[in-house]
Homo-oligomer: A and B are copies of this chain.
Amino acid sequence: MSAGWLAIAGLGPGDEALVTCEVTAALAQATDVIGYIPYVARVAAREGLTLHPTDNRVELDRAAHALELAAQGSRVVVVSSGDPGVFAMASAVFEAVEAGPAPWRDLDIRVLPGITAMLAASARAGAPLGHDFCAINLSDNLKPWALIEKRLRLAAEADFAMAFYNPRSKARPEGFARVLDVLREACGEDRPILFARAVTTPEEALTITTLGKATSEMADMRTMVIVGSSQTRIIDRVGPPILYTPRSA
């Protein structure tokens, strides 16, 4: 039997101080690091380590490549930003495991959690996800718009705070405008909304406003969007305001 293994590791939102020691240790032991170009670029080159940067939207090919290398005895880390289990590479790897050759099932595969974007964004703004909430991927690459809209309306009815990943892309700029329309109708114009761009990086920019004043141009693919529940509050102060949801919401 090979001594290969596969770790699917979360690099967090960007700041190296938010990478866990567990992930740092796995990277130190790896022979191969695989992932989307900007994430692999965060791993320092060293002797004995092969970096495999790949383009976006090739998740299943990337997963299969990682599993092949591990099956051959390599120590492989697949890197994601944030947490690999939240709209990231872990599900893609397990899809490849299920569809792939039987021996892949018995490989040593571990998921190493990281700080996911919604929790980094929430921390920077205060605690908007401090009570019951949901996380929705707004990309309609892999699911129909009707399902996204259904989830938005039910989440509003449940009075969840809502965290939105992948709000807006060049390929479908109109989708997020429709999301904002649905939310305004379901939650009202006064509901607080946070746009948190490139959180914990030098380009970080936070905007707290209301659904009535929000426009789709406020988000791009590096932006995490969080909409409060009916109980979410804004504390005004000398510095940036604090956005938080009470524990009883």
Interface status of A64 (Cβ within 8 A of chain B): no
**Chain A contact residues, majority secondary structure:** mixed
Complex contacts, A120 vs chain B, CB 8 Å: 113
Interface 1/0s, chain A 71-113, versus B by CB < 8 A? Answer: 0000000000001111110111011011000000110011111
The closest CB in chain B to the CB of A15 belongs to B22
Complex contacts, A12 vs chain B, CB 8 Å: 20
- Of the candidate stretches A46-54, A171-179, A208-216, A237-245, the one touching chain B is A237-245
Interface 1/0s, chain A 104-148, versus B by CB < 8 A? Answer: 011001111111100110111011011111111100001100010
- A105-B235, A134-B133, A247-B142 known; A20 and B18 CB under 8 Å? yes
The closest CB in chain B to the CB of A235 belongs to B98
Question: What interface size band does chain A fall in?
Answer: 35 or more
Complex contacts, A238 vs chain B, CB 8 Å: 105-106
Inter-chain contact A127/B85, CB cutoff 8 Å? yes
A147–B239 Cα distance when bound, in Å, is: 35
Interface status of A43 (Cβ within 8 A of chain B): no
Inter-chain contact B143/A150, CB cutoff 8 Å? no
Q: A138 → chain B, closest Cβ, in Å?
A: 10
The closest CB in chain B to the CB of A236 belongs to B105
Name A158's contact: one of B112, B155, B246, B249 (CB within 8 Å): B155
Name A19's contact: one of B20, B236, B248 (CB within 8 Å): B20
A12–B19 Cα distance when bound, in Å, is: 12
Inter-chain contact A151/B142, CB cutoff 8 Å? no
- A17-B21, A126-B111 known; A143 and B91 CB under 8 Å? no
Name A20's contact: one of B20, B157, B239, B249 (CB within 8 Å): B20
Cross-chain pairs A/B with CB under 8 angstroms, 23 sampled: A18-B113, A19-B20, A84-B123, A85-B129, A86-B130, A87-B247, A90-B126, A90-B127, A91-B245, A91-B246, A97-B235, A97-B242, A105-B242, A106-B237, A109-B242, A111-B122, A111-B123, A111-B124, A116-B119, A129-B135, A131-B137, A134-B134, A154-B155
Name A's B-contacting residues (CB within 8 A): 12, 15-22, 25, 59, 83-88, 90-92, 94-95, 97-98, 105-106, 109-116, 119-120, 122-124, 126-127, 129-137, 142-143, 147, 150-151, 154-155, 157-160, 233, 235-239, 242, 244-249
